[in-house]
Structure 1
Amino acid sequence: MFWKKSPSTVLAGLLVIHLLAHVDRNMLLGFSPQIIADLNISNAQYGFLVGAVWVLSFGFMALFMGSLADRFSRTRVIAAGVLIWSACTWASGHAQSFEQMVVARFFVASGEAALVPAAVALLAELFSAKRRSSAMGVFFMGIPLGVGCSFLLAGTFGAEHGWRTTFYALGLIGVVIAVLLAFLKDDRSQLPPHERGAPFGQQMRSVLGTIHDRPALLLIIIGFVLVHMIFAGLAFTQLWLVKERGMDAAGIATRIGMLQLGFGALGSLVGGVIGDSLARKFRGSHASLMTLLVILCAAPMIAYRFAAPGSAIFYIGMCAGFFLPLALYGPVNAAIMSMVPQQTRSTVTGFTMLCINVFAVAIGNLAVGWAIDFLDAHGVQAPLTQVVLATDVIAISSALFFALAARASRSVPLTGSIVQGASQG
């Protein structure tokens, strides 16, 4: 497996694939007016396409694909995922009805669910504990970069060639990448049973047992899920700025997009780097650093909700909200990888993604929308302000769980099998 001798090259390749995944994932957003008109679908149907369809497929398939990546070749699991999502991205361009688009997007999500669990475990294998957070941070830069590139692509290539041709091109690029990935050998079936994953049911019992036996791990996962409530609030931020803060819809949409792209990417990079350089200096390691990051961003995030639109405090707080969740991806994933046996790393990552998608994305967005409607129906003043502020408070409450995780982790040494998994890089 010669390709493992260059971890930085592997990281660069995984970043490109992650970026492509988020371009494919978000192209529906970039082409929303055209797709709604061409397929003659309602706003509710469009919301179902970008919301429930994705969560139902992606969240649960991440767990299953993660278990496969622990048991079999991680590169081949990623290759299969890229092939599935790319073929179905291409098929999305051929969709002529709502039902056809639902099927295509369901399998796009299923394919993309294979990437992160396998990639995170692979990076944990290739990079030592001293470099792991930085590697994770670079990999997760694919999220803001992919979101930004999807809108950029829609406004350039898509504006000239149309949404269908753009989907065809993206699908073709992904298929080529999948074929190349399939030639990278990573045969885990030859490893001793204690170094690779078990069948799904047995693997899940092992993962749940690990989480039960390591309180710090459970607390970090809970905190990480809570931080993602920032995204539930973000879904309604533009509406809040227009309806209750009097800002121009077109102008603020562009600024939100650019600031989210810039500070999200900066958060991934900075959080990953300081996760390696500073975490070791804290008694609670990565969990203490996560606590500090949340505390530092808390005040500007809250002040932003009350500041005058366009003021310095307003933009500092907005950028802090874009920075924080991405800044935690590197330290959180590095911490999780250090707490679990190597044969369960992908499955635990898939479990974390399932929790995020079910509780923060699906239930979180539904609860936020319901709360806004409820307060508005009862004549409460500025209902949007109160609800988006509540999502900030919930996200900031993650600091408590990270702090408890830091305290719990001080008394729990790393096991030998975990340390062995960090031998390279």
Structure 2
Amino acid sequence: MTAEKNAPTAPAPEQSASRYSYFVLGLLTLVYTFNFIDRQIIAILSPAIKEDLGLSDSVLGLLKGLAFAVLYTTLGIPIAWAADRWNRVNIVAVSLGLWSAFTALSGLAMNATQLMLARLGVGIGEAGGSPPAHSLISDYFPKEKRASALAIYSLGIPFGQMFAFLAGGWVLSQYGWRGTFFIVGVPGVLLAILLKLAVKEPIRGVHDGAAAAVKVGFKQGLAHLLSIPTYWGVTIAVTFASFTGYGTAMWIVDFYRRTYELGYLEITVPLGILNGVVYGIGTWAGGWLTDRFGKNDKGAYAWLPGLGMLLTIPVGWATIWAPAPFWAFFWSAPFLIGLGFYLGPSFSLVQTLAPVRFRAVATAFFFFILNLIALGFGPLWVGALSDIFAASYGDVTGLRLALTTLGGSSLLAAIAFFWTARKLPADWAKATGESVS
């Protein structure tokens, strides 16, 4: 017997954008915030860990990226398969408790191997976070509002980074990197209990009419997804965009520390404000503008993110090669706005193109590709190139040159988004049954 038969139901379709829907969205956004706090915190602690454990940039890049991503990506698909059949709220709550506990346990690591094992545990927990959450949100909001709703959910990324920078920098200065892992991890366990008690499992496909009744097998659903050109297009585009994002985010504290020799709070406070405010504005604006322009032009779900990624190239280089920290922080603002544009539209697009009863797996497969490549190898790419360039140019210029190469992944992301925009109206019409011009 599936849990759906026993689960509480969501309000009827006409009531589904009620206060409770937004309450659920807010709570899931808070969960996603903890997701990124626990994912990002190692980047803030990176210089202290490097100094204490004597690690190279390549090993740090492995710990920040691939050690986390390998199980995060591979387990995401079977967990999502379960989420398309069973109670999604339970899956998210258990996952949150698990990754929070392993974040706390990271503070016990005495060497790189032990820290890698803890990061693997964080990855196992976070594998059950976003795919079921995306599916839940899609059943609380109709497709015309999903870009905005998923953009709000995506605010967990900038908010998580903001709190990681602000709280992480202060806690690090007071309790060291080990104590920071403990303090950051424990609250997530309490939030998992609140989520379980407060959120109802909604009716699956409540906004999708007859399509909601169609049951899809794993092989059938995956074959269907892979036959949609724009599903591939948005997946490739977001992979390259995330490669830029993770490659930058996981090394930005090291960059300011080495290049300008700033103290931790001099780095984390402005970065926290920039991520929470500016990156948040870019993330929200991407969803809002897409819902507005997307009413008449479905290609907006891709060309707007493409414009955002083009913006990141010149302002990203201006940040990396800024002569003073003020200008580096200054140019970070438009970089973060452009980087935030793709989140809501891309996540919404995946949910709309996928069969109703295959949405969690569609998101998990999407995350499998982008996180294995972007999160797994983005930080490692920067770290390895930094070691290579440092042999000839020194540690400061070596890291700058490594970060500069991320302009290439931004360009590839923009190209993939613009290609997707051209193909999207036809695929949207097939997925929704709408007549799209």
Query: 1:423 aligns to what?
Result: none
Distance 1:3 1:168 in 2: 36
Query: 1:276 aligns to what?
Result: 291
SS at match of 1:228: helix
Match of 2:187 among 167, 173, 180: 173
Asked whether the 8 Å contact 1:89–1:104 carries over to 2, the reply is yes
Distance 1:322 1:134 in 2: 18
Query: 2:425 aligns to what?
Result: 410
Residue pairs, 1:61-100, within 5 angstroms: 61-93=75-107, 99-100=113-114
Distance 1:338 1:53 in 2: 32
Distance 1:365 1:73 in 2: 34
Matched letter for residue 405 of structure 2: A
Distance 1:378 1:172 in 2: 43
Q: In the alignment, is residue 294 of structure 1 matched against residue 306 of structure 2?
A: no
Distance 1:328 1:190 in 2: 25
Mean CA deviation greater in 388-397 or 218-227? 388-397
Asked whether the 8 Å contact 1:30–1:151 carries over to 2, the reply is yes
Residue 379 of structure 1, CA deviation? 7.0
Q: Describe the shift of the 1:294–1:155 C-alpha distance in structure 2 as closer, same or farther (beyond 3 A).
A: closer
Mean CA deviation greater in 134-143 or 155-164? 155-164
TM-score with structure 1 setting the length? 0.81
Asked whether the 8 Å contact 1:282–1:289 carries over to 2, the reply is no
Match of 1:347 among 361, 365, 369: 361
Asked whether the 8 Å contact 1:137–1:272 carries over to 2, the reply is yes
Matched letter for residue 284 of structure 2: L
Distance 2:172 2:253 in 1: 24
Q: Describe the shift of the 1:256–1:170 C-alpha distance in structure 2 as closer, same or farther (beyond 3 A).
A: closer
Q: Once the two structures are superposed, what CA deviation does each residue of 1:365-421 show, in whole Å capped at 9, x if it has no partner?
A: 3333444444555679965555433311321232221111111112334346688xx
Q: Describe the shift of the 1:22–1:236 C-alpha distance in structure 2 as closer, same or farther (beyond 3 A).
A: closer
Matched letter for residue 406 of structure 1: A
Q: In the alignment, is residue 395 of structure 1 matched against residue 407 of structure 2?
A: no
Query: 1:247 aligns to what?
Result: 260
Residue 329 of structure 1, CA deviation? 0.4
Residue 332 of structure 1, CA deviation? 0.8
Matched letter for residue 352 of structure 1: F
Give the unaligned 5+ runs of structure 1: 420-425
Residue 344 of structure 1, CA deviation? 1.6
Query: 1:124 aligns to what?
Result: 138
User: How many equivalent residue pairs?
Assistant: 410
Residue 195 of structure 1, CA deviation? 4.7
Residue 307 of structure 1, CA deviation? 5.7
Query: 1:25 aligns to what?
Result: 39
SS at match of 1:280: coil
Match of 1:148 among 162, 173, 184: 162
Residue pairs, 1:183-332, within 5 angstroms: 183=197, 184-186=199-201, 195=213, 203=218, 205-231=219-245, 232-236=247-251, 247-250=260-263, 251=266, 254-282=269-297, 284-304=299-319, 308-309=323-324, 315-332=329-346
Q: Percent of counterpart pairs with the same letter?
A: 22
Q: In the alignment, is residue 42 of structure 1 matched against residue 54 of structure 2?
A: yes
Residue 115 of structure 1, CA deviation? 0.9
Distance 1:351 1:21 in 2: 19
Q: Once the two structures are superposed, what CA deviation does each residue of 1:108-165 show, in whole Å capped at 9, x if it has no partner?
A: 2211121111111111121112211111111111112112212433455666567666
Give the CA RMSD over aligned residues. Answer: 3.7
Asked whether the 8 Å contact 1:118–1:346 carries over to 2, the reply is yes
Matched letter for residue 282 of structure 2: G
Q: Describe the shift of the 1:100–1:365 C-alpha distance in structure 2 as closer, same or farther (beyond 3 A).
A: closer
Matched letter for residue 216 of structure 1: T
Mean CA deviation greater in 87-96 or 222-231? 87-96
Q: Describe the shift of the 1:282–1:374 C-alpha distance in structure 2 as closer, same or farther (beyond 3 A).
A: same
Distance 1:92 1:384 in 2: 26
Matched letter for residue 146 of structure 1: G
Asked whether the 8 Å contact 1:229–1:392 carries over to 2, the reply is no
Distance 2:165 2:367 in 1: 24
Q: Describe the shift of the 1:294–1:254 C-alpha distance in structure 2 as closer, same or farther (beyond 3 A).
A: same
Asked whether the 8 Å contact 2:47–2:254 carries over to 1, the reply is no
SS at match of 2:260: coil
Asked whether the 8 Å contact 2:312–2:339 carries over to 1, the reply is no
